[in-house]
Structure 1
């Protein structure tokens, strides 16, 4: 019996991404056992020809096959943070992020932090802020929650804290952003 084969994919950070990657795998007759953010488990190892075609099709769709262990770990850090922020579960956001990441990834936080900064050119804390701001933009665009509700959902200590952080990153207040004709949201895979 053949062993399942795991592939790690950069920029695969949303449900739409899962669908696109699944379609590309299907075109190459690669059978996924499971697909989740940043990772695909295949029934068997792809041939070198399938792997090359997959690299090309992923690149055309804004993804990248990760073939380096450090890059793989950095991508896992990103996905863990994105999932945490998008979960909407305040109790997760109020815990110590360093402890959460260390436990979720089974690595020492100092190592994770040093690796992330070296590979990405920004700290984990800054990446979290940028992801939170993108989530605030998304929630403001939906116009379903008040700023107070958004602040609570994302684990901010106050609306003032959220507003200050939002303005520091975007150059405008949340209300100015909301009034803007064409808000400038970034795709989750381009936040840095």
Structure 2
């Protein structure tokens, strides 16, 4: 029997001495963690810790240098990932990872009773206005719209289970009402949640989470 996929998290403790933190774009799901770990290990690295958007690594053989960045970049690019070197882009990737973690992988009853701006500012230790400006500058999409798109993708997943009602989904995603969810859902997809659900499982095209920014 194959091992269970890890539950994704965007949180890593401070990097341990002797390790290097790599920031990796497009790591957004449980399978992503497994694939990224495999590629890093095949490149000769020991993965000390891994989370959405980041991995702490060290050489398998003590005293050896890390593989050249271009080698790691090529290995990760072959499976759809990308090393992120620019500190500003690293912060954007951390922001994305936190949004994905909160919306897609945190149980509703464990989600913080905070608005997203306060939550992201608190977790990243940066003013939300700065985070929002940087996100828009680097991604060509406002952070608010990114959050809405991720919530709509999560709503699609929940609605595809068929037994979920629009009101249930709205409540789980923190909307003030089913009407609020329906408005945002229609703005993004052109359909109401009810129309989407009527299409049946798998027929209306959920998007890859790393593609939502596009």
**Fold conserved between structures, TM > 0.5:** yes
- 1:90/1:152 contact within 8 Å kept: no
Instruction: Give the match for residue 113 of structure 1.
Output: 132
Instruction: Give the match for residue 12 of structure 1.
Output: 27
Instruction: Give the match for residue 92 of structure 2.
Output: 74
- The yes-or-no answer on 1:23 pairing with 2:38 is yes
Shift of 1:139: 1.0
Instruction: Give the match for residue 125 of structure 1.
Output: 144
Compared CA separation, residues 186 and 89, structure 1 to 2 (3 A): same
Q: Distance in 2 between matches of 1:41 and 1:108?
A: 26
Higher mean alpha-carbon deviation, 154-163 vs 174-183, is at 174-183
Q: Distance in 1 between matches of 2:163 and 2:49?
A: 33
- The answer for unaligned runs of 5 or more in structure 1 is none
Structural mapping, 1:152-163, within 5 Å:
152-163=171-182
Q: Secondary structure at the match of 2:22?
A: strand
State how many pairs are aligned. 189
Compared CA separation, residues 43 and 74, structure 1 to 2 (3 A): same
Q: Secondary structure at the match of 1:31?
A: strand
Q: Distance in 1 between matches of 2:109 and 2:175?
A: 9
- The answer for unaligned runs of 5 or more in structure 2 is 1-16, 60-64
Structural mapping, 1:78-89, within 5 Å:
78-86=96-104, 87-89=106-108
Shift of 1:103: 0.7
> Quick one: higher RCO (CA 8 Å, sep 6+), 1 or 2?
1
